[in-house]
Structure 1
């Protein structure tokens, strides 16, 4: 169970949440919702114990699994499969069993052999108590359903993309919470932030079923309406206008109806109160002219002010970033070419001999199954990594803008202002401030470290950096991840309007439709084809 009492959350001096009381119990499946920047990710971090509230107290009992938006830093030399098994301590036990078994094969001294046999038996008992080989099979099943093939699980985490590492972490906490081998339904509380990022359609469908059947507590942040509709039985709405959280003990569809009714009621109450207060203030103004009625006028004005002060603020329409990709700088007919690109991580070959030419104003989509190297190819084109073989050939006037799905282009230790200044060092300060304002960054938030922003805010900051770049070739890796529906529509509209070349990697069919691509590159073979609607159904599967 998690119990938060009178907690206050802040981003700098900005109050996100004030004196909130929250509780997560077994059986609760809570959707945590609100606009980008309302404090959803901060709230989840505090509930998970990864951050401290500005005020109040959070108490936790029982097991807890937390999936943050961004992959955690840690020992990246660990094999992916071992990382999943470590959720129940099985990885270390299996390694100890293998070492002991090898030692037993070499020992000749009967006493030492007896000790080794005894040690192996104890390890085997511990392994069985934790679920044994059935648990190992359960971990493999979860990984397979999340699109983690055996070849990916055999690799060190350092060789995986950010999206693959995040799926490993998701598999790890789901394995910890699954019931196989533990003899009873799990009471683990899951706190998961945007779990469908980097998942294909089949994996998302499987995840919905897993979460719906989970009997421990759950708090989920997601922009996937189908997941919220299918899974949650309660909703917490973080109202950024009031700095409060509204609790709804109902499913998603009923919540939408109830919240709409609440907002209508608040507007009606405020309108009535403002009307009454206006009458009182007008009367007070008339009475002030007479010295004998000055005290009565003052009391009447105080009543009007108290009447207004006691009202909840009405929720204004959420602001939306005005996203417009840059007017592309002048360039030649083919600003970017690549010949014979190959990339491997250790003995794992990602792709070999990929040739491509990005013409001025062209629209290209990269497709391939998870792990086929889509992000890797984009990183090579953006010179974030070097190929093992082959070369990039920049054309006349090439200016690349790269959007990374894990926001690697941001300096998380630097402020919002420092990040945009680095992205556009030659732009005047006033222009940059106006640009950040259109992306909903202003005031004290400019001094906020980028690493403390929500996923949606990081996406907006990275896109602001692109807009300031005047790039003529945009390399976009999952640009609609973490965005609320209104911001996503802004990005899609910007894609439609942009006149430069775009190379896009996405699981979002809407992003592909907005781009109206001319060509598709299929990985790992690097095959190039003309785009047709037949490829659209592969986007979510890829």
Structure 2
């Protein structure tokens, strides 16, 4: 259970949420959708509810087991095997490591006494492993991993060799494994921030079914409307204008209807009140001209003001980021050319011998199963990582790259919003940059806010602002619509449609591919190149 009292949440000097004497509670069976526009404070609030951050004021009380999936998980020992990371949710990773060590001791035993000691130790460990349901749990963990698209070959790799998307799925598998007893009876409280990021369509369907059966509490942040519609039975709307949470004890569809009805009522009541207040003020102005009627006039004005102050506040329409990719700088016919790109992690080959020519204004989609190396390929093209072997990237005449990393690696999380945009565009004028940030909905005190405290959607907008400030003629875009609310996503898609430079796109979002209108497709790990056809659209969500 989670109980929230008098909570006040701030990011820098901005107040995101001020509950002012009210309380909320999350109990087993509650499946709550935490919604609101990008930057409203959803992710910051979720971190505080999970105990990963401290509120400015108020109190959060937790009891029972809790599983928290942050939007950008970077925790964990990068030398740990992915399978061990999942099993660590129930402490089974340590037991399995000890059992493996005991087995090795039996093999290496120099005499019978040492062998007997190792056998007895292994027997004790195996008894404990079995008593804790280890073998059944291991099977359950494997089933969850498979359902989230984590193949056996991935589970035998160190976390440090995995892509950001793979590590996030490992973390999700670990949390769901901790919350699963195979029958949906777990009382673990789940706090999930954008859990469908990096999942293919089949995995999202499985996750939806898992959460529908989960009997413990759930708070979920997601822009996946189908997931919210299927799973949540309560909605918390974080109003960015008022800094308050409106709690609706109903499912997603009924919430949408209730909110629309409520807002229509507020607008209607305000319009009526404004009409009556205007009439009172006009009458007061007439009476005020007469000295004997001055007191009555003042009373009318006070009545009009009271009438307006007692109204429920009308929600202000969400602001929209105005996203437009840059006018590309002049360049040659083929500004970027790659030959024989190869990437290895130890003895593991991600891909080898990939050739790619990016002509002026060309539009390319990179496809491949999760872990095939799509993100790695963009990092090589951007010069963030180096190729293994003899291959390399050749810079053509006038090349200017704009790189958007899905893990926001291009941003300095310790720097402020202003410092990051200054770094992205050191030659731009201050007023131009302030205007640019304003177009991306950053202004006032937000400019001095540490980037690490921004939500995923805000980080995406800041990284995109950095791209816009350049004159890039080749954009390398890795999941540019992740974490964005529907309105901001449409802005990015419109920007893709109108951009005149070359684009290399990695995405699970079919809408982004449709907006790009690609000419070619590169399929990893083989590096096969083909002309784009609608047949490839069927595998975008699965790639």
Superposition TM-score tier, normalisation by shorter sequence: over 0.9
- CA shift in 2, pair 1:111/1:300, >3 Å: farther
The aligned residue for residue 222 of structure 1 is 222
Query: 1:119 Cα deviation (Å)?
Result: 4.1
**What SS is found at the alignment partner of 2:166?**
helix
The aligned residue for residue 353 of structure 2 is 353
Q: Partners of 1:243 and 1:282 in 2: how far apart?
A: 35
Query: 1:478 Cα deviation (Å)?
Result: 0.3
Residues 424-445 of structure 1, C-alpha deviation per residue, up to 9 Å, x if partnerless? 0001111111111111111111
Residues 318-352 of structure 1, C-alpha deviation per residue, up to 9 Å, x if partnerless? 11111100000000000000011100111110000
The aligned residue for residue 96 of structure 2 is 94
My pick for the range that moved more, 295-304 or 504-513, is 295-304
Query: 1:273 Cα deviation (Å)?
Result: 2.3
Q: Residue 254 in 1 paired to residue 249 in 2?
A: no
Residues 480-510 of structure 1, C-alpha deviation per residue, up to 9 Å, x if partnerless? 0001111111111110100000000000011
The aligned residue for residue 52 of structure 1 is 54
Q: Partners of 1:137 and 1:103 in 2: how far apart?
A: 26
Residues 69 and 191 of structure 2 are in contact (CA less than 8 Å); yes or no, is this contact kept in structure 1?
A: yes
Q: Residue 240 in 1 paired to residue 236 in 2?
A: no
Q: TM-score, normalised by structure 2?
A: 0.96
Q: Residue 397 in 1 paired to residue 417 in 2?
A: no
The aligned residue for residue 316 of structure 1 is 316
Q: Partners of 2:531 and 2:501 in 1: how far apart?
A: 19
Give 1:352-501 correspondences, 5 Å limit.
352-389=352-389, 390-501=391-502
Query: 1:149 Cα deviation (Å)?
Result: 1.2
Query: 1:288 Cα deviation (Å)?
Result: 3.8
Query: 1:309 Cα deviation (Å)?
Result: 2.3
The aligned residue for residue 532 of structure 1 is 533
The aligned residue for residue 160 of structure 1 is 162
Query: 1:54 Cα deviation (Å)?
Result: 1.4
- CA shift in 2, pair 1:285/1:368, >3 Å: same
**What SS is found at the alignment partner of 1:460?**
helix
Query: 1:287 Cα deviation (Å)?
Result: 4.0
Residues 184 and 215 of structure 2 are in contact (CA less than 8 Å); yes or no, is this contact kept in structure 1?
A: no
Out of 124, 127, 135, which is 2:126 matched to?
124
**What SS is found at the alignment partner of 1:360?**
coil
Residues 412 and 450 of structure 1 are in contact (CA less than 8 Å); yes or no, is this contact kept in structure 2?
A: yes
Out of 67, 79, 84, which is 1:77 matched to?
79
Q: Residue 523 in 1 paired to residue 524 in 2?
A: yes
Q: Partners of 1:72 and 1:499 in 2: how far apart?
A: 35
Query: 1:132 Cα deviation (Å)?
Result: 1.1
Q: Partners of 2:448 and 2:289 in 1: how far apart?
A: 49
**Alpha carbon RMSD of aligned pairs, Å?**
1.7
Residues 241 and 313 of structure 1 are in contact (CA less than 8 Å); yes or no, is this contact kept in structure 2?
A: no
**What SS is found at the alignment partner of 2:349?**
strand
Residues 453-482 of structure 1, C-alpha deviation per residue, up to 9 Å, x if partnerless? 111111110000000011000000000000
Residues 48-84 of structure 1, C-alpha deviation per residue, up to 9 Å, x if partnerless? 0111111111000000000011022342111111111
Q: Partners of 1:491 and 1:22 in 2: how far apart?
A: 35
Q: Which runs of 5+ in 1 are unaligned?
A: none
Residues 105-164 of structure 1, C-alpha deviation per residue, up to 9 Å, x if partnerless? 555777766665554444333322332111001111111111111111111111111111
Q: Which runs of 5+ in 2 are unaligned?
A: none
Query: 1:283 Cα deviation (Å)?
Result: 3.5
Residues 510 and 537 of structure 2 are in contact (CA less than 8 Å); yes or no, is this contact kept in structure 1?
A: yes
The aligned residue for residue 8 of structure 2 is 8
The aligned residue for residue 145 of structure 2 is 143
Q: Partners of 1:105 and 1:513 in 2: how far apart?
A: 59
